[in-house]
């Protein structure tokens, strides 16, 4: 009986408490706290700019990076500018005490190293350096693409420098090329069908690059006389008419196929050379030259899990590590220009016909080779982006 009475008294106390508080209009609910936290009452204030981990303060940020702006009175947002570039507010998370927003991936016109927040009640600025990545252009994916075929200009940060389908103009000599597609790392074009299959200069201009970029097309430089009759491997040469050959891009080339090499085996009957060099600039300044050639691998036979060992006068001068590095050369049946530093790969060149240069395949797993090489040459280094 006593327990029933105690329970009754407790219920009356709880009921009375609820009635009292229910009649008090000043009681703060969760929804009201949330609503008030979203309301600004004065000009905006920035106290910190942080990574979104809320632990690391930022003095600089990258394009596309999410940043957390802390402060007060940040709601009622009208704009956020990084330098003079406005952020997309549809991508921003905004409260009175914080804003989370990505830095726009757009080049600034005026570099102020400031972030500016403007609300209905005022404006404030804070220091923040925005790192602007440099434009990188490696050149043409295939420097010997035939007229009418496609090739791709490759590099990085094309989008922010307007190397895009919409904004770029690509000229092969005096003839404009059709741009098929573009993204951050590539610009794919059709080589004008009307131009001759001869050396010319490719020029690319954009609103951000009015002076243009220049790169070579079908530039032979110093030809390396590959596989002459003094060396093994001549039988691999073809004009492209044999079964399984890829399409030729510059006359005869070598197609190495149906060759099996065991684990840690050695295959070097590929590019024995005995070629003359009479140019004193090449002999004395090999560090200013690139070794280039076009490579075409069957899609099912990439050059991977192996070392490619370059040799000069029977001594290894360079090991290209495609084993431990995890790097793989697979052109998927397309011709691709390979560019290597000539000094690193060849070590030294000698006058006249004293250059015995070749390379060997040394795989870490059993492989069956099926690849082609065309137009091995030495070309003077020319910076594409000045």
- pLDDT above 70 covers a percentage of the chain that reads 87
Does 364 have pLDDT greater than 70? yes
pLDDT recorded at residue 25: 41
- Whether residues 234 and 363 share a domain: the answer is yes
Alpha-carbon distances of 134 from 13, 107, 156, 157, 179, rounded to whole Å? 72, 11, 8, 7, 23
Residue 12 in any domain: the answer is no
Q: How confident is the model at residue 353 (pLDDT cuts 50, 70, 90)?
A: confident
> Best-predicted range by mean pLDDT among 138-147, 249-258, 267-276, 314-323?
138-147
Q: Which of 10-19, 309-318, 330-339 has the highest mean pLDDT?
A: 330-339
pLDDT of 327 reads 84
Residues 164, 186: Cα–Cα separation, whole Å: 9
Neighbours of 130 (CB within 10 A): 22
In a domain, 158, yes or no: yes
User: For 185-198, what is the mean pLDDT?
Assistant: 96
Give one DSSP letter per residue of 272-303, joined into a string: -B-EEE--HHHHH-GGGEEEEEEEEE-TTS-E
Taking the C-alpha atoms of residue 39 and residue 75, their distance in angstroms, rounded to an integer, is 6
Bigger pLDDT: 233 vs 124: 124
Least confident among 199-203, 243-247, 250-254: 250-254
350 domain residue, yes or no: yes
Greatest mean pLDDT among 10-19, 22-31, 105-114, 355-364 lies in 105-114
CA-based torsion, 8, 13, 14, 20: positive or negative: positive
Torsion angle, alpha carbons of 368, 370, 374, 376, to 10: -10
Q: Same domain, yes or no, for 339 and 228?
A: yes
- Whether residue 230 lies inside any domain: the answer is yes
For residue 235, which of 265, 266, 257, 261 has the smallest C-alpha distance? Answer: 257
**Residue 19 pLDDT greater than 80, yes or no:** no
- CATH code, 178: 2.60.40.10
Residue 89 within a domain: yes
Of 152, 186, 217, the one marking the end of a domain is: 217
C-alpha to C-alpha distance for 237 and 48, rounded to whole angstroms: 66
Same domain, 189 and 302: no
pLDDT band at 174 (very low <50, low <70, confident <90, very high): very high
176 and 102, same structural domain? no
How large is the average pLDDT for residues 208-233?
A: 78
Residues 301 and 346 in one domain: yes
What pLDDT was estimated at residue 226?
A: 58
The predicted model scores a pTM of 0.82
Query: What CATH code is carried by the domain that includes residue 312?
Result: 2.60.120
C-beta of residue 337 within 8 angstroms of C-beta of residue 144: yes
Same domain, 243 and 373: yes
Of 131, 162, 184, the residue that ends a domain is 131
Q: Are residues 367 and 234 in the same domain?
A: yes
Residue 37 has what pLDDT? Answer: 54
Q: In this predicted model, which residue has the larger pLDDT, 229 or 37?
A: 37
Distance CA 231, CA 254 (A): 14
Question: What is the share, in percent, of the chain residues with pLDDT greater than 90?
Answer: 74
Tens digits of residue pLDDT in 142-154:
999 999 999 999 9
Are 243 and 124 in a shared domain?
no
What is the pLDDT, as a whole number, of residue 354? 75
- Examine the domain organization and report whether 247 and 311 are in the same domain: yes
Please report whether residue 254 resides in a domain.
yes
In terms of residue numbers, what domain contains 313?
A: 222-380
Contact 282, 222 (CB under 8 A): yes
Q: What is the pLDDT of residue 2?
A: 44
Answer yes or no: do 151 and 123 share one domain.
Answer: no
What is the per-residue pLDDT for 232? 56
Q: What is the pLDDT of residue 33?
A: 37
User: Strand, coil or helix: what is 131?
Assistant: strand
Tell me if 232 is assigned to some domain: yes
Predicted pLDDT of residue 30: 36
Same domain, 153 and 227: no
Query: Which tokens in the block code for residue 196?
Result: 């001759």
Q: Given pLDDT bands bounded at 50, 70 and 90, which one contains residue 312?
A: confident
pLDDT score, position 326: 79
Number of structural domains found in the chain: 3
Domain end marker among 131, 162, 196: 131
In whole angstroms, give the CA distance from residue 293 to residue 374: 6
Q: What is the pLDDT of the chain when averaged over all its residues? A: 88
pLDDT-derived band at 225 (thresholds 50, 70, 90) equals: low
The tokens describing 150, both together, are 């496609």
Q: Is residue 278 part of a domain?
A: yes
| Predicted pLDDT of residue 231 | 53
CB 254, CB 233: distance < 8 Å: yes
pLDDT over 90 at 29, yes or no: no
Average confidence (pLDDT) over 26-33: 40
What is the pLDDT averaged over residues 55-80?
96
Q: Mean pLDDT throughout 92-118?
A: 96
Phi, psi (rounded to 5 degrees) for 154? -115, 150
Q: Are residues 297 and 359 in the same domain?
A: yes
């Amino acid at each position: 009986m006593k327990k029933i009475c105690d329970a009754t008294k407790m219920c009356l106390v709880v009921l009375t408490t609820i009635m009292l508080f229910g009649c008090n209009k000043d009681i703060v609910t969760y929804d009201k706290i949330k609503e008030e936290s979203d309301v600004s009452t004065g000009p905006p204030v920035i106290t910190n700019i942080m990574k979104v981990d809320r632990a690391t303060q930022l003095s600089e940020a990258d394009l596309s990076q999410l940043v957390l702006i802390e402060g007060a009175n940040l709601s009622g947002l009208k704009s956020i500018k990084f330098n003079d570039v406005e952020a997309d507010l549809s991508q921003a998370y905004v409260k009175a005490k914080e804003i989370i927003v990505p830095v726009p991936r757009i080049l600034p016109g005026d570099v102020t190293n400031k972030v500016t927040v403007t609300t209905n009640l005022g404006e404030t600025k804070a220091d923040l350096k925005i790192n602007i990545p440099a434009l990188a252009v490696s050149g043409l994916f295939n420097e010997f693409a035939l007229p009418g075929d496609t090739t791709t200009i490759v590099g990085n940060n094309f989008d922010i420098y307007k190397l895009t389908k919409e904004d770029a103009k690509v000229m092969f000599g005096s003839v404009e090329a059709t741009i098929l597609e573009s993204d951050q790392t590539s610009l794919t074009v059709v080589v004008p069908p009307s131009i001759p299959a001869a050396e010319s200069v490719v020029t690319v201009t954009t609103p951000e690059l009015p002076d243009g970029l220049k790169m070579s097309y079908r530039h032979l430089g110093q030809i390396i006389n590959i596989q002459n009759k003094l060396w093994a491997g001549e039988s691999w040469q073809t004009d492209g008419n044999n079964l399984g050959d890829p399409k030729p891009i510059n006359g005869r080339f070598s197609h190495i196929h149906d060759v099996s090499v065991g684990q840690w085996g050695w295959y070097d009957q590929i590019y024995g050379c005995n070629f003359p060099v009479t140019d004193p600039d090449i002999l004395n300044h090999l560090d200013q030259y690139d070794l280039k050639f076009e490579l075409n691998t069957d899609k099912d036979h990439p050059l991977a899990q192996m070392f490619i060992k370059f040799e000069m006068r029977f001594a290894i001068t360079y090991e290209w590590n495609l084993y431990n590095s995890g790097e793989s050369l697979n052109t998927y049946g397309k011709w691709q220009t390979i560019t290597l530093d000539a000094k690193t790969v060849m070590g030294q060149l000698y006058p006249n016909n004293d250059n015995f240069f070749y390379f060997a395949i040394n795989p870490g797993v059993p492989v069956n080779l099926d690849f082609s090489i065309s137009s091995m040459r030495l070309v003077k280094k020319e910076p594409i982006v000045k």
